[in-house]
């Protein structure tokens, strides 16, 4: 005999369910209320993701052929500075928002030059939400843009502009510099791991041959510079640096198919297990995907035909 000990749940509230019970969150409020939806977590991994998202914007400029150097600095107060020598985020008025393009990019989700395909053929990061998410999750953020011979600036607190974009000086070059301090109300940790950031930036440098990436931790007095003319060929050599390789020169393939750039490099070693790293638009696809499945199938077919 089975006794049913279950009890029905008690209704909450007074039973009223009206339009007033529906909450509407704006972009900034939604990000701050549910940060995990945008950066995965609020621990150190999420903290690092803020850095990556700003760096990816600079990498987009590099992939478009306009940026050759990115500097990342962890300052002594645990704020972060990311500087590039790209074209600089536009500061003129955006027709759809009536605000500066810089403010639009920094405060509006899904605002950026990554969607139309005109400015960037390929891009990394969260595809148009990166800068605005970092801004929303920062205690404060300052954007400096060097463009049109002028230095422009705008400051934010928890994603809210503290004034309009304004010219504050002259500039002899072009580029963008973002300073930000992660909000301690959001993140459970405030410290960055230099080694983790360095390894990711090393990967980015390998994936973008000819791009120089410098990272420095002012508090720990550590710094690294990554620059690889060989691209992913050098990456494969790096992965095999402690292995006995079966052929000295990695096999390298580069093709453009239907406006999609495809690169592959491989080198056999004395190990019994394979180690495969796959990326799409500079993002490490750790769970694979159709691009990796297609590569494995094609490689197997070629080897079988040869055998």
Residue-level pLDDT at 286: 87
In this structure, are residues 11 and 155 in contact, taking their beta carbons and an 8 Å threshold?
no
Both tokens of 62, joined, read 């590099």
Residue-level pLDDT at 209: 92
Model confidence, pTM: 0.84
Name the average pLDDT for the chain.
Answer: 88
Buried b (16+ CB within 10 A) or exposed e, 198-217: bebbbbbbbbbbebbbbbbb
- Return the CA Rg of the chain: 23
Residue-level pLDDT at 129: 64
Give every CB contact of residue 289 below 8 A, 6+ residues apart in sequence.
278, 280
CATH number of 27-226: 3.30.565.10
Residue-level pLDDT at 282: 86
pLDDT per residue as tens, the chain (307 positions): 555 555 555 665 666 766 555 545 568 888 999 999 899 999 999 999 999 999 999 999 998 899 999 999 999 999 999 999 999 999 998 888 889 999 999 998 866 554 444 544 555 555 446 899 999 999 999 999 999 999 999 999 999 999 999 999 999 999 999 999 999 999 988 799 999 999 999 999 999 999 999 999 999 999 999 999 999 999 999 999 999 999 999 999 999 988 888 999 999 999 998 889 999 888 889 899 999 999 999 999 999 998 7
In this structure, are residues 169 and 144 in contact, taking their beta carbons and an 8 Å threshold?
no
DSSP state of 21: G
Residue-level pLDDT at 127: 43
Q: What are the structural domain ranges in the chain? A: 27-226, 232-306
In this structure, are residues 256 and 262 in contact, taking their beta carbons and an 8 Å threshold?
yes
CATH number of 232-306: 3.30.230.10
Q: What are the pLDDT digits (tens) for 235-281?
A: 999 999 999 999 999 999 999 988 888 999 999 999 998 889 999 88
Residue-level pLDDT at 159: 96
DSSP-assigned beta bridge partners for residue 224? 215
């Amino acid at each position: 005999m089975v006794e049913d000990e279950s009890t029905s749940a008690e209704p909450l509230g007074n039973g009223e369910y009206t339009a007033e019970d529906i909450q509407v969150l704006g972009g900034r409020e939604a990000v701050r209320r549910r940060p995990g939806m945008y950066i995965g977590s609020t621990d150190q991994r999420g903290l690092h993701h803020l850095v990556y998202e700003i760096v990816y914007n600079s990498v987009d400029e590099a992939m478009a052929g306009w940026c050759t150097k990115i500097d990342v600095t962890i300052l002594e107060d645990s704020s972060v500075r990311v500087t590039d020598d790209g074209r600089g985020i536009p500061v003129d008025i955006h027709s759809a928002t009536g605000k500066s393009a810089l403010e639009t990019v920094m405060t509006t989700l899904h605002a950026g030059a990554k969607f139309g395909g005109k400015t960037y053929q390929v891009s990394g990061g969260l595809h148009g939400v990166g800068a605005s998410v970092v801004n929303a999750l920062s205690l404060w953020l300052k954007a400096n843009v060097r463009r049109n011979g002028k230095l422009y600036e705008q400051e934010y607190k928890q994603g809210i502009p503290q004034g309009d974009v304004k010219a504050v000086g002259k500039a002899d070059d072009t580029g963008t510099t973002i300073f930000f301090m992660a909000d301690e109300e959001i993140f459970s940790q405030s410290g960055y791991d230099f080694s983790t950031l360095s390894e990711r930036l090393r990967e980015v440098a390998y994936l973008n041959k000819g791009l120089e990436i410098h990272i420095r931790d002012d508090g720990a007095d550590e710094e690294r510079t990554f620059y690889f003319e060989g691209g992913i060929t050098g990456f494969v050599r790096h992965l095999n640096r402690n292995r006995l390789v079966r052929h000295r020169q990695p096999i390298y393939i580069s093709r453009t198919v239907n406006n999609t750039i495809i690169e592959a490099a491989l080198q056999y070693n004395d190990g019994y297990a394979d180690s495969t790293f796959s990326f799409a638009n500079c993002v490490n696809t750790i769970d694979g995907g159709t691009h990796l499945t297609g590569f494995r199938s094609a490689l197997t077919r070629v080897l079988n035909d040869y055998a």
